[in-house]
Amino acid sequence: MRILAVAAELFPYLKVGGLADVMAALPKALRRLGADARVMLPAFPEIRAALPGARPVWSHPDLLRRGPATVLLGETGDGVPLYALECPELFGEDGGPYGDWPRAHLRYGALGWAAAALARDGDGDGWTADILHAHDWPAGLAPAYLALAGGPRPRTLMTIHNIAYQGAFPPAVLGELWLPPEAYAVDGAEFNGSLSFLKAGLHYADRLGTVSPTYAEEIQHPAVGRGLEGLLAWRRGQLAGILNGVDTDLWDPATDPHLILPFDASTLSRRGLGKAALQMELGLQEDPIAPLFGVVSRLEEIKGLDLLLPNLEALLGQGAQFALLGSGDPVLEEAFRAAAKAHPGRVAARIGYDEGLAHRMFAGLDVLVVPSRSEPCGLTQMYALRYGCLPLVRETGGLADTVVDAADPLRGNGWLFGPEDPWELGLALARACQFYREDPAAWTALQRRAMAADHGWDNSARRYLDLFRSLVGDGGG
């Protein structure tokens, strides 16, 4: 089974969000199962720098009339073959995968066109794809180019990692993207008067996917579907929700190089030393009795952190501490900075992102708070579970698929709240505080249950392989 995964980011070379982690881990897991999975990205400077020995395997003299383009073939540090699309006119400057918005349609139109051509016609070494797997809107035109060209082609899967990002552009760019006029239609790439890369992928791909079973259901309804719920409900028979996993080599508290003292479920007492070290690192009072709540997240409205702010005073009043690592919305950044200033030693706010500190927070926090309004899958709650940090989450998307409330004595591993309301979040925070204070033995049992859960990629990769086999077997219908 030959699979070409197409996306805009890849850990550890270029990361904006969880998609980068998925792109690193899923192809590796598929290859462990015997598939020939490969990855294709634009050759942004960070990607190009990671491929010093790459060689050209495909070229076009004037891709989208933006000059010569070349696909280089190298491999990741994990041995996954990596194709990088070089086009100096489009990818020669820094700015990250989602910057340079005035030319974003050309960047990702070129990526989609080249990916479709390479998957269908080969890479010059005789490799063609059975499956083209498009991830999020930057890859959305690849299934469209293949379907519109007609003739024999790879089967296609379009996976939604976050339906809020749709890649919408003025319809005037249709010709620049080498799309025929008929592509701009309700039964095509048109969406609310714009040309939408995500809509194109959702219409033209043979199958659709998203990153958790609950999110697959939620996006078929107006509250979460962002206007695409009708199309997704119509195609529900071709829509699969496959839960993301985590890279268990990178996220393993027993071997994590970012931790001062690694631990596992049989040496949980060491975790207390990690908590003390984290309190010292963040400038919090070294208090082993205080429950330490925290957030590791982008700071944006969809993450629901404005629901947390009104609860901080009450949380501290119950003897807890709070720590945050993240950046994003300047208003939220300033609000958490102000909370840290108002409560020195009790609240810490690190604005920015630090990979090592993120690992140490999962290893030292008692409770990770994820109050997202919508969360397609979420990875932080799965990282937390592996590290014995109990997640407190809103019951949505992949959060609902991975966290079971502690009220369940057999399966509980965290806390859930439902309505999108500060009061409901406050009740869940109070329940967690009470549980922590009143039943240390039960808390330890929750931690061990959380750490024992299997959130690695192998099970999810098997589901993807089953889906790919069915696609090839039925011709994509």
Residue 63, number of CB atoms within 10 A of its CB: 23
Specify which residues 194 forms β-bridges with: 191
pLDDT value, residue 226: 96
Q: CATH code for 2-245+458-474?
A: 3.40.50.2000
CA gyration radius for the chain?
A: 23
8 A C-beta contact, residue 262 and residue 251: no
8 A C-beta contact, residue 400 and residue 379: no
Element (H, E) at 241: strand 239-241
Specify which residues 240 forms β-bridges with: 209
* Interatomic CA distance for residues 251 and 95, integer angstroms: 28
Specify which residues 40 forms β-bridges with: 6, 83
* Interatomic CA distance for residues 328 and 298, integer angstroms: 6
pLDDT value, residue 94: 63
pLDDT value, residue 99: 77
pLDDT value, residue 331: 98
Helices (H) and strands (E) in the chain, counts: 18, 18
For each of the chain's 477 residues, which pLDDT tens digit applies? Answer: 999 999 999 999 999 888 999 999 999 999 999 999 999 999 999 999 999 999 999 999 999 999 999 999 999 999 999 999 999 999 877 667 987 778 899 999 999 999 999 999 999 899 999 999 999 999 999 999 999 999 999 999 999 999 999 999 999 999 999 999 999 999 999 999 999 999 999 999 999 999 999 999 999 999 999 999 999 999 999 999 999 999 999 999 999 999 999 999 999 999 999 999 999 999 999 999 999 999 999 999 999 999 999 999 999 999 999 999 999 999 999 999 999 999 999 999 999 989 999 999 999 999 999 999 999 999 999 999 999 999 999 999 999 999 999 999 999 999 999 999 999 999 999 999 999 999 999 999 999 999 999 999 999 999 999 999 999 987 544
DSSP string, 185-203: STTTTEETTEEEHHHHHHH
Element (H, E) at 325: strand 321-326
CATH topology of domain 265-452: Rossmann fold (3.40.50)
8 A C-beta contact, residue 177 and residue 184: no
List every span in the chain annotated with CATH 3.40.50.2000: 2-245+458-474, 265-452
Element (H, E) at 348: strand 347-351
pTM score: 0.93
Q: 61: helix, coil or strand?
A: coil
Question: For residue 388, with 0-12 CB atoms within 10 Å meaning exposed, 13-18 middle and 19 or more buried, which class applies?
Answer: buried
Residue 53, number of CB atoms within 10 A of its CB: 8
pLDDT value, residue 475: 59
Residue 17, number of CB atoms within 10 A of its CB: 15
37, 10, 7, 20: which is closest to 464 by C-alpha? Answer: 37
pLDDT value, residue 245: 95
pLDDT value, residue 100: 73
Structure tokens at 185: 């239609």
CA atoms within 13 Å, Cβ hemisphere of 3: 29
